Chain A
Amino acid sequence: MADTQPKTRYVPSYWRGAAGLLRRGLRVIGGQAWLSEAECQTAQRFLLGLRLAAMVIAAVVLYTLGLPNLIRSFLTYRVPWVQVCCLVTYTTVVGLAAYLVLRGKRWGWLRWAALAATLGASIASDLSLGDGYAITAADWSFGSVGWVGVIVLTERPLCELLAFLGVHELLSLCTVVLTGNGHCTEILWLATASITSIGFPVAGAIAITALRFIANAADEAFQQSETVRVAEAVAAGLHERRRQRFASLYVTAVPLLRGLADRCLDPEQANVQRQCAIEAARMRRLFAELDTVANPLLHELRHCADVADRKGILVEMEGRGQWPEPPLPIRRALTEAPLAALATAISWARVTVIGTPGLLSVNVVADCAPVDLPHPDSDAVQLTTITEHDTLWVEVRWQTNLSPR
């Protein structure tokens, strides 16, 4: 059932019951790598601490337990220098792990080379022990290999560490059987020694796995809460935008619609029709403001002109020159009077936009009915009108080099 949950669910999946927890645990113990590249910094910080802790434990085991035993039993080994080589090998692996942690690098193929070297050293150490010395103080390697394996396999699934320790235990058993005197007490010694040499690393690995499990869950919870926060921010922005758009229409469009609904305004009257056309053009401009286009001013003017075009008015539109993109309040101030002229044109209109260094000019020339043109809200914009016979020329200018962007 949990499989059908969408990935963007808001409640962490691990709270969804024991089934999800068990599946997640099996995934960890199974063949899937525990941490992916995408997992966030919390898990990475956890992991760094765990790797450092494993390295400290491995170093302590090697040099406070293993090294003294090696020195004390040095003369009992068949080939003593092999034991020294084993210690050097384990030390190299631990040193390599420390280097990788400090440089923030991953193991990569080195992991498998280090594991092979560790197992090889363990076998060589077992083979160079004197007969009857397996699972004694002279067998210092037996208790150290498990911790070396832990630091190499910290980031890997638990089953890989269990397999590694299993191989190590099997090799030790073979050594005991082949080099021992055949008493079952040796097997019991092996079992007793394994409690510390195998059990502690396994316990440590399980603790590490549990901590990583928590870290991963924390990551997921963090990401989901982040998704919720982003969604809330987007919703708030959208609401604010809608509120602003409604506020823009509230002053002019709402009274008009209310008047039409109350039958206070007669749709047959020419001035009511003109007001409706102007409000329609304003709404088209508001919708056009949401579009992402290369030239928002021309785009919004085209939408205003389209309202006139749909009424059968012959609209000619030309843009010349270049200009910086005006901010939204300036664009509204630049298009407010032109849209009113366009909305009230009777048969033709000419719309021109001219951008020259320092000046942007929006013009509408049309055969307009008498209309009260709104004055721009912004001081950065100047409106000029000329009427000649039945032709109205509206020019709105913006000083691009003076106005704040």
Chain B
Amino acid sequence: MADQPITAVIVDDHSVVTAGVRYWCGQADPPIELIDANARLANVWTGPGANADVVIFDLQLQTDQQEFTELRRLVDSGRRVVVYSQDAHNTTAVRCVSLGALAYVTKREGQEHLVAAVRAAAAGSPYTPPSLSGALVADDDPNRPHLAPMEIAALRAWFASSSKQMAATMLGISARTVDTYIERVRVRYANAGRPAPTKSDLVARALEDGLITLADLNNHPI
């Protein structure tokens, strides 16, 4: 797996965006193999796109509506999704993350963050670019996960400085610790936002989180 190049399928209705991302992926070290879905979601599910490691997903495809339903469908089917959108609103970014997107990268953010997000997603890890960090720290939803003060400080510093090293210097901690705080925030959001539409889904979440065991299920059938 480690020797195989990362493959990503991009679904975006602007060919110039696809061409730019293809260039960035080609320049990445090691290069990322990019598949163009030609702005058709069907090409993400079938053909070469179906086997891509990462889906680079434009939230707004030729319609005025944002494709949250499609994003949920991709996440529920186990696809690793990086949302790449021009929408810089807090609520949109937080909603995508809550739905299970591994990264939300705005189109104002460049090669550095998109390539890093694709690499992290290919490894199954979340990536938090500065704008998403700002969206998370400014999230005023009453149902947002509770964040520790240092986690908020790390999000704020990363958003403001756009440099993990400067953020670490500002907070008096190491850059690795800054990463840890931000990852914790993502885990909190992932846990809070995981959809559990049915009773069996709820049971599955509880098993995953260790809240109940199989023995509990045998003793107290649900």
Q: Do A and B bind each other?
A: yes
A: which residues have CB within 8 A of B? 316, 318, 320-322, 350, 352, 354-356, 361, 363, 365, 384, 386, 388, 391, 393, 395
Distance to closest chain A CB from B157 (angstroms): 9
- Taking a contact as CB atoms under 8 Å apart, the answer to whether A395 and B134 are in contact is no
Could you tell me the distance between the alpha carbons of A316 and B162 in the complex, rounded to whole angstroms? 11
State whether B160 touches A393 (Cβ < 8 A): yes
Q: B170 and A386: CB pair below 8 A?
A: yes
8 A-B Cβ contacts within 8 A? A316-B108, A318-B134, A320-B134, A321-B138, A321-B140, A352-B160, A354-B138, A386-B166
**Is B137 part of the binding interface, using a Cβ–Cβ cutoff of 8 Å?**
yes
Tell me, in angstroms, the Cα distance from A354 to B134 when the chains sit together: 8
Cα A350 to Cα B90 in complex, Å, equals 18
Q: Interface of chain B, helix or strand or loop or mixed?
A: helix
B-side contacts of A384, CB under 8 Å: 170
Q: Which residues of B contact A391 (CB under 8 A)?
A: 163, 166
Q: Bound complex: CA of A356 vs CA of B159, how far in Å?
A: 13
- Residue pair A354, B159 in contact (C-beta under 8 Å): yes
For the complex, what is the distance from the CA of A136 to the CA of B161, rounded to whole Å?
106
For A355, the chain B residues whose CB sits under 8 A away are 138
Q: Which residues of A contact B156 (CB under 8 A)?
A: 354, 356, 361
Query: Beyond the given A320-B159, A391-B166, could you list 18 further A-B residue pairs with CB under 8 A, ordered by the A residue number?
Result: A318-B159, A320-B135, A320-B137, A321-B138, A350-B162, A352-B134, A352-B160, A354-B134, A354-B137, A354-B159, A363-B160, A363-B161, A386-B161, A386-B169, A388-B169, A393-B163, A393-B166, A395-B170
How would residues 161 to 201 of chain B score, 1 for a CB under 8 Å from any chain A CB and 0 otherwise?
11101100110000000000000000000000000000000
Q: With A and B bound together, what is the CA distance between A361 and B169 in angstroms?
A: 17
Give chain A's interface secondary structure class.
strand
Known interface pairs A365-B161, A393-B161; A356-B166 also in contact (CB < 8 Å):
no
B131 interface contact, C-beta 8 A: yes
Known pairs A316-B108, A356-B152; A365 contacts B140 (CB<8 A): no
Question: Which residue on chain B has the smallest CB distance to residue A321?
Answer: B138
Q: Is B17 an interface residue (CB 8 A)?
A: no
A356, A386, A393: the one contacting B138 at CB < 8 Å is A356
> Roughly how many angstroms separate A322 CA and B169 CA in the complex, as a whole number?
26
Contact indicator A365/B152 (Cβ below 8 Å)? no
Tell me, rounded to whole Å, the shortest Cβ–Cβ distance linking A78 to chain B: 91
B163 touches A388 (CB 8 A): yes
Assess whether B116 is interfacial by the CB under 8 Å rule: no
- Interface assignment of B88: CB less than 8 Å from any CB of chain A: yes
Residues of A within 8 A of B138 (CB): 320-322, 354-356
Q: Are A365 and B166 in contact (CB under 8 A)?
A: yes
When C-beta atoms are compared, the residue in chain A nearest to B90 turns out to be: A320
Closest 4 CB pairs of A and B: A321-B138, A363-B160, A320-B138, A320-B134
Q: Residue-by-residue, is B116-137 near A (CB-CB < 8 Å gives 1, otherwise 0)?
A: 0000000000000001001101
B116 shortest CB reach to chain A, Å: 17
Residues of A close to B152: CB separation below 8 A:
356
Measured CA separation A164–B123 after assembly (Å): 102
* Cα distance, A391 to B131, chains bound together (Å): 19
B166 touches A318 (CB 8 A): no
Closest to A357 in B: B140
Contact A318-B163, Cβ < 8 Å, known A384-B170, A388-B169, A395-B170: no
Measured CA separation A322–B162 after assembly (Å)? 21
Say yes or no: A318-B131 contact (C-beta < 8 A), given A354-B159, A388-B165, A395-B160: yes
Is there contact, CB below 8 Å, between A322 and B140? yes
If A320-B135, A322-B140 touch, whether A365 touches B160 (CB-CB below 8 Å) is yes
Interface centre among B135, B165, B166 (most CB of A within 10 A): B166
**Chain A proximity of B184: nearest CB distance (Å):** 18
Q: Which residue of A322, A352, A388 contacts B159 across the interface (Cβ within 8 Å)?
A: A352
Which of these, A321, A363, A388, A393, contacts B137 with CB under 8 Å? A321
Q: Which of chain A's residues has its CB closest to B170's CB?
A: A386
Tell me, in angstroms, the Cα distance from A386 to B164 when the chains sit together. Answer: 13
Q: Note all chain B residues with C-beta closer than 8 A to A321.
A: 90, 137-138, 140
Contacting residues, chain A, for B108 (C-beta < 8 A) = 316
Q: CA separation between A384 and B160, bound complex, in Å? A: 13
On chain A, the residues within 8 Å of B165 by CB distance are: 388
- Residues from chain B with a CB closer than 8 A to the CB of A388 are 163, 165-166, 169
Cβ distance A4 to chain B, nearest Cβ, rounded Å: 58
Question: Smallest Cβ distance from A174 to chain B, in angstroms?
Answer: 84
Q: In the bound complex, what is the Cα–Cα distance between A352 and B162 (angstroms)? A: 10
Minimum C-beta distance from A34 to chain B (A) = 61
Residues of A within 8 A of B137 (CB): 320-321, 354, 356
Shortest Cβ gap from B133 to chain A (Å): 9
> Smallest CB-CB separation from A365: which chain B residue?
B161
What is the CB-to-nearest-CB distance from B108 to chain A, in angstroms, rounded to a whole number? 7
